[in-house]
Amino acid sequence: MRSETMTSKERLECAVNLEKPDRVPISPLMNTSAAAKLVGKKYWEIADKGYYAHIETEIELFEKFGGWDGVALPLSPDIYRLGGLKVTTPTEQSPEIQILEEEFAKPEDYEIIAEKGMNDFIVNHLIERVYGKEFLGQLGHIYQDASRSSKKGKDEYTKRGAYFTFPTLLTHPFFKLSLTRSMVKFTEDLYYRPEMVENAIQTMTDELIAMGKMLYKKDNFLTMGLVEERAGGFFYPMRIFERFWWPFTKQIAEAFWADGIKIWFHLDTNWDKNIKYFKELPRGSAIIDLDGTTNIFAAKEQLRDHLCISSDIHPALMSLGKPEEMEAYCKRLIDEIGDDGGLILCTGCCLPVATKAENFRAMLNTGKTYQLSKPA
Amino acid sequence: MNVMIIGGFLGSGKTTLLLNVVKKMIAQSKKIAVVENEIGEIGIDGNYLKKEGLTVQELFGGCICCTLTAGLIETLQKIETAYHPDLVIIEATGAARPGDIVTTLHDDNCPLRFESIKVVTVVDVTRYEMLIQVMEPLLTGQIQRADIVAVNKIDEASIKQIDRIIECIAKLNPSAAIVAMSAEEEVYTLNPFMELL
């Protein structure tokens, strides 16, 4: 078998630039609850023990399974709270973080958001509504803990040769409004008050661009992350997508690209009907990260030699499948999606809590060895 | 294992229908387990149902793709082992398509075997015409694989509106039984739901 000739950073950059790396880069999206289970910890016992307890658990998993190329910092209950989202505290019975949607933002808040931005709205209105005034007094401590822990976590991962795929997953304005208004109310707003929604999304788009440019540091991160779970064709028709999502997404992508920033689009649910729009983005400017419900092979045909795809191992395969099925699927991805180099081997969405250790190991092993075992 | 999946968009009345079905089943001395999976606050008073002899499991998780696969099967395995219920009712999140849950349960790798899996989709008649404009793929997906479509909140709609919507639903899913009802007012008969089981 041949040996590796690239660093994780080189390998990931190669894939995004649609060139052939020595082997497929591997970058599973973590979930601390799943990581805890795989290293024999109980997530509900560490969930509120500060941010570094999350990072430490994920690093433990990284070491136990021999590492991989791309990493990112975890989401903790506090990180969700900083975003004004109501979340459950993990328990033994319900060990994952769950966002509990309610109509915390009201229709009249669209005007505030359009005028002052979402961040201002979160700090001055939303957090108090969700968690009460007393929580505002904890913000400084949470920010400080997150900041110190992130720095330490970055150093620890870097020592281990891993490269950060993105500084954070920013939430797309469309998704953020859906979470803060609730999916029901937001969907009604798209019908009854579309202009108010559009105005708010425009301000949030400008804000997101500024935030992304501030957080991104060249040579420290592969991309800037952008998450959208709801705008795809699984939920909404194309006319909604074309009016409320795509124009703003293009603004973000073009503004980032002008500064040399690529986007990691984390796209949950089925995007079959939406994939063609991404061809409008500059070649090599983004990674399309799919969760196993979009037809990745059809997506590849549309995006071949244009954008890198991050794929896509469905949670069902990871948790219910067999190692030989995992190996076969990873080989198929490498052969058919990664044949031109534009592939990052990834979980579909995050690593599920019910992940079988042998399946995760099979994913990593196949990614690390399959191409190197072939004649050069 | 017998499973009834109750789906439908958020706020359509799934929980109210579920409670009515549960009461009827308990009156028949059936052993029922409920799996709750919603993206908002849990709709059911779990303690009340537990006092009534029910097993209630909350199925929470980050995203529907993760939760509705392994998480669901793990939950059903626990229920089967611990309680051997006559019926498991899954109240699916309003953001999911119940048909996708059926696909998951029929997956070759699913270790459970099912005697029957039936899907009931609840539609809010008062919001259907608005929602089908802005969220057609989800609503259509929820209706198309249902065994019964429950057209709910008929006490708040005109006869013309109800007829119009029933006609639309019948076109989307010609094989489904369509039941017009008001779960809140209990203006309906539970027979079609009981006959499913």
Residue B61 confidence (pLDDT) above 70: no
DSSP 8-state code for residue A321: S
Whole-number pLDDT of residue B149: 95
Interchain proximity A321–B71, CB inside 8 Å: no
Interchain proximity A268–B63, CB inside 8 Å: yes
Q: Which tokens is B191 given?
A: 């027979």
Q: What are phi and psi of A229, to 5 degrees?
A: -105, -10
Interchain proximity B40–A100, CB inside 8 Å: yes
Residue B70 confidence (pLDDT) above 80: no
How far is B33 from B102, CA to CA, in rounded Å?
Answer: 18
Domain ranges across chain A: 8-369
Residues in A touching B136 (Cβ below 8 Å): 237
Compute the average pLDDT of residues B103-130.
Answer: 92
Question: What string of pLDDT tens digits covers the 376 residues of chain A?
Answer: 889 999 999 999 999 999 999 999 999 999 999 999 999 999 999 998 999 999 999 999 999 999 999 999 999 999 999 999 998 888 887 788 888 888 999 999 999 999 999 999 999 999 999 999 889 899 999 999 999 999 999 999 999 999 999 999 999 999 999 999 999 999 999 999 999 999 999 999 999 999 999 999 888 999 999 999 999 999 999 999 999 999 999 999 999 999 999 999 999 999 999 999 999 999 999 999 999 999 999 999 999 999 999 989 998 899 889 999 999 999 999 999 999 999 999 999 899 988 999 999 999 999 999 999 988 7
Residue B44 confidence (pLDDT) above 60: no
Interchain proximity A316–B104, CB inside 8 Å: yes
Whole-number pLDDT of residue A162: 98
Question: Can you tell me the ipTM of this complex?
Answer: 0.90
Interchain proximity B65–A322, CB inside 8 Å: no
Interchain proximity A348–B65, CB inside 8 Å: yes
| Long-range Cβ pairs for the range B56-61 (8 Å, 24+) | B57/A93, B57/B33, B58/A93, B58/A94, B59/B35, B59/B90, B60/A88, B60/A94, B60/A96, B60/A98, B61/A96, B61/A98, B61/A352, B61/A353
Residue A155: closest CA among A220, A211, A215, A217: A220
Q: Which of A43-47, A63-67, B92-96, B151-155 has the highest mean pLDDT?
A: A63-67
Residue B62 confidence (pLDDT) above 70: no
List the single best residue of B41, B66, B144 to mutate versus A (max A Cβ within 10 A).
B66
Whole-number pLDDT of residue B50: 64
Residue B195 confidence (pLDDT) above 80: no
Compute the average pLDDT of residues B34-42.
Answer: 70
List the Cα angle B70/B72/B74 in 5-degree steps.
65
Q: Which chain A residue is nearest to residue B100, measuring alpha carbons?
A: A293
Residue A71: closest CA among A61, A80, A85, A81: A61
Q: Which tokens is A355 given?
A: 């992940």
Interchain proximity A234–B138, CB inside 8 Å: yes
Residues in B touching A352 (Cβ below 8 Å): 61, 66, 69-71
Q: Is the dihedral of CA B106, B112, B113, B116 positive or negative?
A: negative
Among B65, B110, B134, beta carbon nearest to A240: B134
Q: Is the pTM of this model over 0.80?
A: yes
Q: Which chain A residue is nearest to residue B57, measuring alpha carbons?
A: A93
Residue B41 confidence (pLDDT) above 70: no
Q: Which tokens is A291 given?
A: 């969760």
Residues in A touching B74 (Cβ below 8 Å): 354
Interchain proximity A96–B70, CB inside 8 Å: no
Compute the nearest-CA separation of B60 from chain A (Å).
Answer: 6
Interchain proximity B70–A318, CB inside 8 Å: yes
For residues B87 and B117, the answer to whether their CB atoms sit within 8 Å is no
* Confidence category of residue B174, pLDDT binned at 50, 70, 90: very high
Whole-number pLDDT of residue B188: 67
Instruction: CATH number for B2-196: choose from 1.25.40.10, 3.40.50.300, 3.40.190.10, 3.40.1080.10.
Output: 3.40.50.300
Of A200 and B108, the one with more pLDDT: A200
Residue B189 confidence (pLDDT) above 70: no
Name the one residue in this structure whose structure tokens are 């029933």.
B166
* Confidence category of residue B197, pLDDT binned at 50, 70, 90: low
Q: Which tokens is B95 given?
A: 């953001």
DSSP 8-state code for residue A88: P
Compute the nearest-CA separation of A348 from chain B (Å).
Answer: 9
Provide CATH code, domain A8-369. 3.20.20.210
How far is A204 from A210, CA to CA, in rounded Å?
Answer: 10
Domain ranges across chain B: 2-196
Strand-pair category, A169-171 with A163-164: unpaired
Among A99, A291, A353, beta carbon nearest to B65: A291
Of A115 and B41, the one with more pLDDT: A115
How far is Cα of residue A327 from the mean position of the Cα atoms in its chain?
24
For residues B91 and B43, the answer to whether their CB atoms sit within 8 Å is yes
Residues in B touching A291 (Cβ below 8 Å): 63, 65
Among A236, A293, A314, beta carbon nearest to B134: A236
Among B11, B70, B136, beta carbon nearest to A237: B136
